[in-house]
Structure 1
Amino acid sequence: MVATLSTTNSTTLERDARLINARGHEVRPSDIAVGVIIGRASEFFDFFVYAIASVIVFPAVIFPYVDALTGTLYSFAVFALAFIARPFGALLFVWLDRKHGRGVKLTIAMFLLGGSTAAMAFLPAYAQAGGLAVALLALFRLGQGFAQGGTWDGLPSLLSLNAPHEKRGFYAMIPQLGAPIGLFVAAAVFAFLLTALSPADFLDWGWRYPFFVAFVINVVALFARLRLISTPEFERLYESQELQPTPVGELFREEGRTVILGAFAPLASFALFHLVTVFPLSWVVLKGEPAEHFLVIELVGAVVGLISVVLSGYIADRIGRRTLLGVSAAFIAAYSGFAPQLLGTGSTGEWVYMIVGFILLGLSFGQSSGAVNSSFSARRRYTGAGTTATASWFIGAGFAPLAALFLASHFGLLSVGAYLLSGAVCTLAALGLNREWGGKEA
């Protein structure tokens, strides 16, 4: 395949990169899938490394001047900062994309993300730096969130555009595989360190290792993604306007309804996302259970979630993505009525809560972005998909660990179920309002 390299939306550096990497290379769906999985897995590894450290490291190292519960709540408040910064980062990186090209934007975003993550490995403890340690943690977390606003590379959209019509649900779930993979690797690294090191050594230096690993993984992921966005197929879709960024103002003016409804459609899965990955770890650790024990449960849960994400693709291609999202939301609503209380019943209850939760999460999360992205016009799909994802994570996930732990500690685990139920109701309402997503075509 030969493509004329457009000068639009490119710098000299961007065009040279395409000439070097794209010559004679025809992109295949399998190539895109691998690039998408590597990219998303690296982002989620960063995400879960920080999330796990928020429970088992930062309360003791950064917030030792308060009790464990308050320290964890403070950690989750800092955790939420990334979701606040992400929309601002997205606005800047959309401008960079339009002005200097996707490769430049992605390189800056990935190095900022990796640099902010690696910088956390050098955080001084509160005992050494006092309030400066808290300020640095908040700053680096804001850096992570700001960078995540620019990591949208359009590869999931490229993947869906290359997908056979009858397998769009299967291809839609591929980007979502990054979440259980990232969780599995992050949980495995922390479980190993907790087992191999003494508590003193872990809190002194052992916890820093995963943050170094995150930077290395980001660099590998960056080159995997740059290789794909330098291909002639990507350039052809640039020229046809299908993968070009559009102004955010134009997006909201022309397709604002889709953005708003799309932001609420996946809330059931996004709320459940944190209620089976981050919140339960904090709850059992605060109750005195060893973190490494529960991380083993999360490792098994990640595998179950991975399988469920794959199954979501096959099921969606038979009954439709909108139908699968709706049915999953209904099951999540039912799950919210009894499951959170299981966390207070011992090991068996924890296993049931996590395994059932990951099954539901995989089925819903696997299609949470595909149905949204397909609703945008070709011209605005790239910006629309990224904007909707940013809004969904902010509304449905950013404050979930903080809200769940606060509710559980003050009103009991039943209140966590009510919180999850609200997400399921939002999903069902959004799907009901946007009937354009109906049937197998969605």
Structure 2
Amino acid sequence: MKSIESNLKSTESYTSEKKILPMWFNAWKYEREDSLTTVSLLKTVGYAMASHPRFDTLSKTIFRGLTIVSKDMMQHIAMDVVSKQNSGDDEAIEQKMDYLNKMYRDSVYYEGLDKIKQEMYAIRQEDPECRVVIFIDDLDRCSPAKALEILESIKLFLDIEGFVFVIGLSHKTVTQLISHEYKATGVRGEDYIKKIIQIPIRIPSWSKDSIIDLITSSIAPKLNSDYTKFLCQNSVMVARVVDYNPRQLKRFINNVIIAFETFASKKDSPEIQFNEIFLFKILKSEWPEFYSEFIHNKDFREIVKWMIAKPKDLRKYFKYLKTLTEEHPTEQKNRRISLLHALSTRTNGRIADAQIDILSDFDNDTWIFLDNVKDVLYGIQNWKIVDNVMDVVEEFTYELPIGANKSKAEPKITQTSS
């Protein structure tokens, strides 16, 4: 969406002729406001139009239309009605009621929208290319009630030519919440969205290769060099851990950097390597049960170390992992468990069924990854310290710009919604 805005601002219609007015409405910022989203949206539009050579007059109309009669005024008039003592009071009250009715007629909920429509029509009569483009991103970050309120607000503009909305949303998430909200009436979210969005553009999902390219070409050059080597060497597994999602990738990297910097900045803190934190973050994110067992069980760590070398005792197991199969994932897991039972004999019963079950989730790529990082994994001197640092990472979500230097990184605790 930023790219669309950038393209708009580079056109002659924007730079010299001022025909296009782009603006952003960050819906989730108004999540906790008591006022209706329609009011917040119109205020955003009005402020953006103010002092604009083509839309300033329309801005004033919008703000007049946002006039809201307070409860105090209503109560005051009501008290006048109740306490009136003579006919003179009737005339005063009638004047107040007439004024009150005029305010309501001019508000956006009555004739105000028609006035906005008429003024926009007049502007476009002079120049049909004049448009107001409103960007609304991350709609699915809002609560279901607020997301629906925003969509209902957009509907007010659907018959006003010249207003264009560019909406960023998760199609699946929003259609589901609409269907749920209108379940009693039988309205389907898919049908609802089709009536609002005229030109849907589905952005392709990020692939493994595109995430790896993002890491090596865009992110790594902006990071402190102390962080980049391990990140680039293990970009394939990092891409997998973040589920090929660029936003999750940013959060993942920020969390690791903050954890390392928070710990390293403490006076007299034991020496710990960034690669160790990064590796443990990968393990804990992708295989939490394995991570827990690995941290707390020395025998299990030794068994995994032995398996990384791909011993002959497990050649059938590793051969199966390399074999392409169309088996259902459940069947694959059961097959792996069966082949891993050789571990019980080889370790004289030191490995439990629960540990075999954990290892049965590993595929060939996992073992390749563990082989690549074995020097870091088994070079850790104090497992407990690294585990404590990881607890700090998991406690909060950090939103920091990628590329923050390690000496300047400061945690910013934010609330996130899924």
Q: Specify the TM-score bucket, using the shorter chain as the normaliser.
A: under 0.3
Larger Rg: 1 or 2?
2
Q: More relative contact order in 1 or in 2 (CA 8 Å, sep 6+)?
A: 1
TM-score by length of 2: 0.23
TM-score, normalized by length of structure 1?
0.22
